Structure 1
Amino acid sequence: MKPSQFAKGFKARPDSTSSEKRTALDRLNAIDGIVDIQHAGQAAANGRSSAFVEDAGDIAAGPESEEYRAWRRANRYTAGQVIELLLKAIKPSPFNPRHFYLKTSIAELAVNLAKQGQQQAIHVIPDYENPGTFFVSDGGRRVRALKEANKDTVKAVVVDLPVGIESYKLGYDLNVQRDSQTVFDNAIVWRRFLDEKHFQSQRELADHLGLDESTIAVALSIAKLPETVMQEMVARPDRFGSNMAYQITRYHTARGSDATLRLINKITSDDLSTRQVADIVKGRASAQETPKTPGRQRYAQRLDIKLDGVTVGDLKSYGEDRLELRLRGLSREKRDELLHQIETMLQSGQINT
């Protein structure tokens, strides 16, 4: 791996084999698995004032880098331990897979954190060249919300992970699992990776991420859009996926930002399909008139669904006898809980079937 692939504050480690990449993810999973144990250990520490408690048995969640081991022992830190760090000591990673953070979403989370407190620790990586500071590995949204709520500290787990491009890949994989990674995040970050020569070509980037080169090419074409236009689509990932965003990019090239923003509003209000938008782009239909698609039924009513103040999908009614519920971005536990509740309602006769 080339030195240019690492920002200031990151130190290169030997090239990772596929087994080492799996070890990094396994280590993160292991850390999550022992957090509850460390909570109990902190309670037994009886309210010590220091952010770092004495290392209980020098426990580690697998093989460690020399730098992390030295830092951990110097600070008497046990791998997986949840500690409180000053928010001013936390900084974003230049290899963060996320670029867009919705202000409304951050504000809603800030209200929730102010009421209930931080329930889940973030993951941070020590900046070994600037002692006492940390890069966010996972939890950038919570950090922003805590600042919005005027908090001074954040609960964190300090992790030992490969950094630079490899830390990006790990964060990217985690976001994909959560369904929170958007094509717009990819567009901005992948364009920057190529501009900064972290990769020499689209193919090299595609090979590193394990993606088709066509996926990279579509994202890079979307990167030509102004961020103000992207912002209008980021809030509705269910409506603006890669294919729709690609058509928007083509329309923007021909018509400019103002017309594109009007089209985006029409897509949302009229629930246009990608095919309908493609017809508008090709000039087969006018953006002022919704093109007809045989067999496509217009919904009669639409209701946004929110969980903990955050929009996660919608409920649409069609005609007199059809409901369509679409939810995204749920944790597996929340998804299973909602599914169980719906099944219970059906079986109990609260809903006639």
Structure 2
Amino acid sequence: MKPSQFAKGFQARPDTTSSEKRTALDRLNAIDGLVKNSPGNSAAPARPMSTTAAPNVPETDTVDTANESAAYRAWRIEHGYKPNQVIELALKSIKPSPFNPRHFYLKSSIADLAVNLAKQGQQQAIHVIPDYDSPGTYFVSDGGRRVRALKEANKESVKAVVIDLPIGIQSYKLGYDLNVQRDSQTVFDNAVVWKRFLDDRHFQSQKELAEHLGLDESTVAVALSIAKLPEPVMHEMVARPDRFGSNMAYQVGRYHTARGADATLRLINKILSDDLSTRQVADIVKGRVSAQESVKPAGRQRYAQRLEIKLEGVSVGDLKSYGDDRIELRLKGLTREKRDDILRQIEKILK
């Protein structure tokens, strides 16, 4: 299959195709008994992990323990842990999983979440897997971003649910499926991690990888083509998932192959400043128009700069500037008090 065929049938945005979401939902239904994150479970009392043995832990009637692994059962009984229980663990005991589906973590996003956690506290427990070869430590199965933000907020502990899952492709699929449902999994994460899976021979071919993940082979092929980009180039696109979905990133990858990193970074800046579409970028890649030429539709003014507005870590709109004398502010989801306060501040500035 030629590289130019990989992107056929792809949607430009979002990164995740509907088939990926459907497959993820199917797998989440299948593992629903493994990880439960209902309000009832999240409300379970948190407590520090006991370091003393509790050999006579009674089994619960509501949790099926028949299919537990021997290692997990031994660990659970030793620590007096009940399945799905929310406990508190020392942050220093938590470490990243080598099969983490996420590769990129934006510093700005971690900082925003750290502020939110400092104010509101941790509302949702992470999922961890005991490292049986290093007692007292745990791999993150889901919640790597929260762990980073808690450390940024100088917290010492984290609320966690300890699950029975081997570290490997199975734990990757669980984290991947959960990220897909939250729209936090990007094509750039997939590109780096899937390439590593093939390099480490976890799969013999991209076809085998696609079949194991329940995805179209073309989805995997596009991600692997993007994986050829240098990480500094990918970082420039990771920060704007609204502009760089699978198709756009694929076209940028093709341009990089022909023109190199410096020219590609200039193209990325032009995509953002001129709000270029995937089709317009494809024309640049094919040489129908140069990256220096104006490819904006006639009569349509593009913003020169865009600033995303966040309140307590949540995006509520943006501020755009046009030309030398025009700005446009759009906000939504505000309380009446916050709206009126912003209006008063704007009026004060204009006076």
By the TM > 0.5 criterion, same fold?
Answer: yes
1:108 maps to: 112
- 1:187-202 map, 5 Å: 187-202=191-206
Q: Work out which of the residue numbers 160, 165, 171 in structure 2 matches 1:167.
A: 171
- 1:167-316 map, 5 Å: 167-293=171-297, 298=302, 304-311=308-315, 314=318
1:188-219 deviations in Å (ceiling 9; x for gaps): 00000000000000100010111111111111
Counterparts in 2 of 1:298 and 1:203: CA distance versus 1, 3 Å: same
CA contact (8 A) 2:207 2:217 kept: yes
- The reply on whether 1:84 has 2:88 as its aligned counterpart is yes
Which deviates more, 99-108 or 297-306?
A: 297-306
AA of the residue aligned to 1:152: E
Distance 1:97 1:217 in 2: 17
Counterparts in 2 of 1:52 and 1:310: CA distance versus 1, 3 Å: farther
1:131 maps to: 135
Distance 1:49 1:241 in 2: 42
1:30-54 deviations in Å (ceiling 9; x for gaps): 3545424522xx5xxxx88947897
2:59 maps to: 58
Distance 1:290 1:77 in 2: 63
Pairwise CA distance, 1:163 = 3.3
Counterparts in 2 of 1:307 and 1:95: CA distance versus 1, 3 Å: farther
Pairwise CA distance, 1:166 = 1.1
Distance 1:303 1:103 in 2: 17
Distance 2:30 2:163 in 1: 10
Unaligned runs of 5+ in 1: 1-19, 328-337, 343-353
Determine helix, strand or coil for the equivalent of 1:284.
coil
Distance 1:277 1:326 in 2: 30
Distance 2:298 2:219 in 1: 30
1:129-155 deviations in Å (ceiling 9; x for gaps): 211110001000011111122222111
Pairwise CA distance, 1:61 = 3.5
Identity of aligned residues (%): 72
Counterparts in 2 of 1:209 and 1:324: CA distance versus 1, 3 Å: farther
Pairwise CA distance, 1:108 = 1.5
Distance 1:103 1:301 in 2: 21
Q: Work out which of the residue numbers 78, 103, 106 in structure 2 matches 1:74.
A: 78
Which deviates more, 149-158 or 100-109?
A: 149-158
Determine helix, strand or coil for the equivalent of 1:84.
strand
Counterparts in 2 of 1:236 and 1:21: CA distance versus 1, 3 Å: closer
Distance 1:202 1:67 in 2: 32
AA of the residue aligned to 2:258: A
Pairwise CA distance, 1:83 = 1.3
Which deviates more, 115-124 or 59-68?
A: 59-68
CA contact (8 A) 2:274 2:304 kept: no
Pairwise CA distance, 1:110 = 1.5
- The reply on whether 1:146 has 2:147 as its aligned counterpart is no
AA of the residue aligned to 2:95: K
CA contact (8 A) 1:51 1:83 kept: no
Distance 1:31 1:72 in 2: 19
Aligned length: 304
Pairwise CA distance, 1:112 = 2.0
CA contact (8 A) 2:57 2:77 kept: no
AA of the residue aligned to 1:121: A
